[in-house]
Structure 1
């Protein structure tokens, strides 16, 4: 299983979370990646944790003030990137451009989408993975696998119909080992979460609980 912890802009210690992720990952067969703010990418990567950017822009070198350049992300230790999170939605053309930018420097890509129909559209663009995340469940602590498991199953089927090589991750409300196990049983090959770890009093304990089914 792949576990991607999005730190968003939460007031957590990204290095401490990354160190915990690197340590906990060694205890399981899971890959635990951490997506910090861009300014923290290098510090997080230095911990040895698998490091993802929260976004890359569909641009090359040039006059693009405020953009997140794929080359800069990769140079600071990221090996992958999120795209189109519900808090940073993009048009399909922009997602496609960001995928091209990520591919230019060899970044793995995870494109987020709200529902199975959008999952199919995202999968058609050829990312490494897609993540289904109903926005109304993000941050609630109620996982989509519990609130509406059919969305996960339908998302897996939608991606499979378009491109069987695209992995499907389950996001929104994921926080416990039971949530991870439910996502796996519904066909997801990974999970995407944020507050369950980033806002936890003890991120290491939260990660250990999350991956307990994989130990």
Structure 2
């Protein structure tokens, strides 16, 4: 089970969270990664934790002011990238181009989508994984595995119908070990979460509680 913690632009200490994640991953054997702001990729990677970019732009080297170049993310220590998060939506052609940029630099990829139909379309583009995240549940503390478990089941089926090598992750509202367990029971290979760890008073304790059922 893969756990990816997206720090978004929350006012947390990314190094503190990353250090906690690395320690919990090392002690439990659970794969845990952190996705910080682009300017914090290097500092997070230096902790030894698996580090992901929150986004890479659909561009190559050139005149692209304000873009997040895949090469720059990789050079800073990222090993993967999220794409098309509900807070940073892309057009289909741009998702495809960002996937090409990530492939060019060896970054693993997760494409986010709102529902099973979009999951199928995303899987057809050939990412390493897709993540189903109903936007209305993001940040609510109510996981999709409880609010509408059929969304996760249908997303798993939709991806498998297109390309059964594409893993499916479950996001939105994940915060407890019970949520993680439920996502796995529904066929998800991992979870995306943010506030449950990034806003926790004790990120290490939050991560330990989260992965306890699978550790």
Q: TM-score, normalising length from structure 2?
A: 0.99
User: How much has 1:27 moved relative to structure 2?
Assistant: 2.3
Aligned position for 1:9: 9
State the match for 1:132 in structure 2.
Answer: 132
Per-residue deviation, residues 51-90 of structure 1 (Å, max 9, x unmatched): 0000000100000000000000000000000000000000
2:94 is matched with 94
> What is the SS of the residue equivalent to 1:99?
helix
Look up the match of 2:200: 200
- Counterpart-to-counterpart distance in 2, 1:109 and 1:28: 24
Alignment of 1:98-117 (within 5 A): 98-117=98-117
Structure 2, unaligned runs of 5 or more:
none
* Map of 1:61 onto structure 2: 61
- 1:178 corresponds in structure 2 to 178
- The question of whether the paired residues in 2 share the 8 Å contact of 1:29 and 1:214 is answered with no
Q: In 2, Cα distance between the equivalents of 1:100 and 1:21?
A: 29
How much has 1:180 moved relative to structure 2?
A: 0.1
Partner SS state of residue 106, structure 1 = coil
Q: Quick check: 1:189 aligned with 2:189?
A: yes
Using the size of structure 1 for normalisation, the TM-score is 0.99
**Count, aligned residues:** 215
Paired position in structure 2 for 1:76: 76
Gaps of 5+ in 1: none
Deviation per residue, 1:119-177 (Å, 9 max, x gap) = 00000000000000000000000000000000000000000000000000000000000
Q: Counterpart in 1 of 2:157?
A: 157
Corresponding residue for residue 46 of structure 2: 46
Per-residue deviation at 1:29?
Answer: 3.2
Cα distance in 1 for partners of 2:25, 2:175 equals: 16
Cα offset, 1:30, TM superposition: 1.9
Equivalent-residue separation in structure 2 for 1:28 and 1:183 (angstroms): 19
Q: Deviations over 1:8-32 (max 9, x none)?
A: 0000000000000000011223210
Aligned to 1:32: 32
Separation in structure 1 between the aligned mates of residue 32 and residue 196 of structure 2, nearest angstrom: 14
- CA offset at residue 107 of structure 1? 0.1
CA RMSD of aligned residues (A): 0.5
Could you tell me whether the CA contact under 8 Å between 1:183 and 1:191 is conserved in 2? Answer: yes
